[in-house]
Amino acid sequence: MNDHKVKAAQMAVDLIPNQAIVGLGSGSTASIFIDLLAKKAHEEAMDITCVATSGQTQQLALGFGLKVVDIDAVDRIDVTVDGADEVDPDLNGIKGGGAALLFEKIVAMNSQKNIWVVDSSKRHPRLGSYKLPVEVVKFGVHHVYNYLKEQDLKPVYRQQEDGNYLTTDSGNYIIDIDISQVDDLPKLANELKALTGVVEHGLFIQVCDVLLVGNTGEAIYRK
């Protein structure tokens, strides 16, 4: 287990109060958080209710004995803890490396507070080293791909190990695009959302409230 991820996850666990409704992110760092949260909830007899951002996270949390409910069974989510693939100094980020961006964004946008747990390798002066995932419905996907190609965004279908296109929890495809040459990311975010067939993209702008960085022990708050 990566010590820096463990440290960031532990810092996040320390911020979870009793009786919280907690959004559980996806990915390796979020998984460590889920493990540590379950241990703390058990040891301290905490009353914690969770909402999962992927099928994998749901199975993991249930396996650790956490109470996991459907997102529509709760009226609020107090805090969500998730990882990120890349974060800039304003705490904007790219997510979706694990293809869970759609549910991650739905849970995040309905959370009072969003905490991201990372190690410092995820921090970059500007976004774009990491490819941006775009989730697209299967019907007509190649037309979206062609459009992205015309825009010089160098689209690549995300594939599974067997070479088939990866299918998300919602039954869609992921196209990863290169945004390293794009200066106006909020504009790109709006344009992607407006494209028919695009369900969601992995740009999370002004979503993260607190960034916990494992190797430095920093808690960075969004201004």
Of 28, 49, 129, 216, the one binding ligand 5RP by CB under 6 A: 28
Choosing from 104, 161, 200, 218, which is the catalytic residue?
104
Backbone angles phi, psi at 139, to 5 degrees: -65, 115
96 binds ligand 5RP (CB under 6 A): yes
Does residue 126 sit in helix, strand or coil? coil
Of 12, 16, 23, 26, the one binding ligand 5RP by CB under 6 A: 26
Pull the structure tokens for residue 76. Answer: 């609020």
Cα–Cα distance, 26 to 34 (Å, whole number) = 10
Minimal distance, residue 93 CB to ligand 5RP, in Å: 9
10 binds ligand 5RP (CB under 6 A): no
Edge-to-edge strand ranges of the sheet holding 86-87: 86-87, 93-94, 203-204
84 binds ligand 5RP (CB under 6 A): yes
34 binds ligand 5RP (CB under 6 A): no
**Orientation of helix 28-43 relative to helix 55-63, angle to 10°:** 30
201 binds ligand 5RP (CB under 6 A): no
Q: Which residues bind ligand 5RP (CB under 6 A)?
A: 25-30, 82-85, 95-101, 104
